[in-house]
Amino acid sequence: MLATEETFTTPLFLVVMDLYGPDALQWSPETIRLELEDDFQLKVPQFTMDKIMAAVSLVTTNFFYKDVTKFVEICNIIGGDEFQPDEFEPADAGEMLLAMTEALLIWPPDDDAEDTEFSEEIREYIRQVLNDEGILRPFDVLRLAFEDDRGVNVDSEYADDPEMFSAIYSMQQSKQNDLKGMLIENVTALTQQLQMLPLNSGQTEQAVQQLHQMVSSASVPS
């Protein structure tokens, strides 16, 4: 799991916490890498380290919720893109959906809006990405960026034009189904990884149960 690009961020983070405890949250990336390489006698790839450090950032800072640049970086890393600190690469809807889903598992937001509520700048970024991708009915956690369902307004605007209304409705259903399919595929794979994770202490049952509920919810037609 440490050596493959297919491993999700959550199980990698759990491995580190299980082996080294909360002290590892204060370690440098190089220290974590050296400890893992010594314990498992393998070369830890950079993409694995990027995911681990993204998870550490989720736990130790509120950058994911307050800093739009960090939000995009973490979305890209959790989504599987190679981290390039000198280049800005926009995060698409699928990457944001996966990152926000794993973030809720790794470090669920609390009731302090000043700490774990998305800033208006991040909400605007999500809105712009969804708008660029033609997604008027945001799905699942992507709805956090909106105070209402924009699709309702669009439905009202084209209520007198059945042909346009039908075209927009079909397009939105297709885009939403694509996102749901991606979420179900990734969450199912993540669930399998958590179920086979060999932990010395701690359990993954609660996270697995949450993921099962997420898949069930996504599978219900909207």
51-94 pLDDT, tens digit per residue, is: 999 999 999 999 999 999 999 999 999 998 877 777 788 999 99
Phi, psi for 135 (deg, rounded to 5): -100, 105
CA 27 from chain centre, in angstroms, equals 24
Distance in angstroms (rounded) separating the CA atoms of residues 44 and 64: 25
Q: What does the DSSP 8-state code read for residue 201?
A: S
* Contact between 79 and 98 (Cβ < 8 Å): yes
Which runs of consecutive H residues, i.e. helices, occur in 41-67?
46-60, 63-66
**Overall pTM surpassing 0.85 (yes/no):** no
Q: What pLDDT digit, counting tens, does each position of 129-182 carry?
A: 988 887 776 766 777 666 554 444 545 554 565 665 565 556 666 777 788 888
Write the CB contacts of 107 (distance below 8 Å, at least 6 apart in sequence): 58, 59
Cα within 13 Å of Cα(195), Cβ side = 11
